[in-house]
Amino acid sequence: MDRFKSKTSVERMALIAISASLYAAAIAVTSPIPTPWGIGHFRPGVIVPALFALISTPMVAGMGAAIGTFIGSFILSLFGLSNPVLSLVSGVPGNFIAFYLLSFLSYRYRSLAAFIASSLISLFIGNIIAASGVLLYYSTVTPLWLSWTIEAKLSVIIGLTLFWVTTMLPFVVTLTPVIAGALNPIISNLNSSMLRRVEFTKIGSGSRTIYSSLIVALILILVYITATLTPIGDILFAKVIKPEYTPWVKTLILISGLVTLVFGIAVSVMLKIESKINSSSIRTYTDS
């Protein structure tokens, strides 16, 4: 029993180290692309902790994401592109909670439809924690931020959250399940207690996937309309330091919603085709 626990602990630490290293490297690749607020970066590399959220445990996913974002921030700080202290109060807790939660939900609700919804929920919660950490940090060290009104502070939190969610969600939803599925044969041969095959439930999953992706898409499209056609959009982006990026961010919200919807429809069609092929094969086998 002690030997088994020791082996499990070693596997857990190894997976956390691998996840953190890959995530830190992915963060560095896209770090030159900042947010319009000049804080944080474009981060499609979240597919790394999202992948570990699917194929491993919540603790591996959460710790790998938290350590990876800190390592990435520390390395980037050497080039003046990040702040590791800020990362400790924003990125680290936000990443840990986001991917711990995603792994927990993915294990409990094993369908692609649930994964789409879980991705939105997890990324939103994690990023709003990270954005709140940004506000807390700068309100502590920068007198200007401390003097802002409540409305201005909330606009920064919501704006950063929307930017991160809408730039992360398309990558997580479309790429993570594909990569996880491709790793299934390798995971089967490893005989690891810390890795799990990704097998989404297929019963009724076609229609559920469409419904889930449609709901997520409608939420994002509604946010896009609100940010573009109402005064709320002006409030959300009032504190950006690069106003020329604002239309780009708003467009990304729309693109994120459309990508999610198209992915859901495509997967649903593929599942229906697969179901028809399987049914035809069964009938052929029965007739013979």
Residues 6+ apart with CB under 8 A from 219: 120, 257
Specify the pLDDT at position 203: 47
Output DSSP code: residue 34. B
Fold of 2-287: Arp2/3 complex 21 kDa subunit ARPC3 (1.10.1760)
pLDDT of residue 279: 58
According to DSSP, the residues that pair with 79 across neighbouring strands are none
CB neighbourhood size of 30 (10 A): 13
Indicate whether 41 pLDDT > 90.
no
- The domain ranges of the chain are 2-287
Task: Tell me what percent of the residues of the chain surpass a pLDDT of 70.
Answer: 90
Q: What is the pTM of this model?
A: 0.86
Q: For position 45, what pLDDT does the model report? A: 92
pLDDT tens digit sequence for 156-206:
999 999 889 988 998 999 889 889 888 888 888 887 778 888 877 654 456
- pLDDT bracket for residue 286 (50, 70, 90): low
Neighbours of 32 (CB within 10 A): 11
CA distance 52 to 60: 7
* 11: its two tokens: 């596997």
pLDDT, tens digit (0-9, with 9 covering 90-100), for 201-237: 654 456 777 778 888 888 889 989 998 988 888 888 8
**Residue 1 predicted with pLDDT over 60:** no
183: which 2 tokens?
A: 């790793």
pLDDT at 278: 57
How far apart CA 93 and CA 127 sit, in angstroms, is: 9
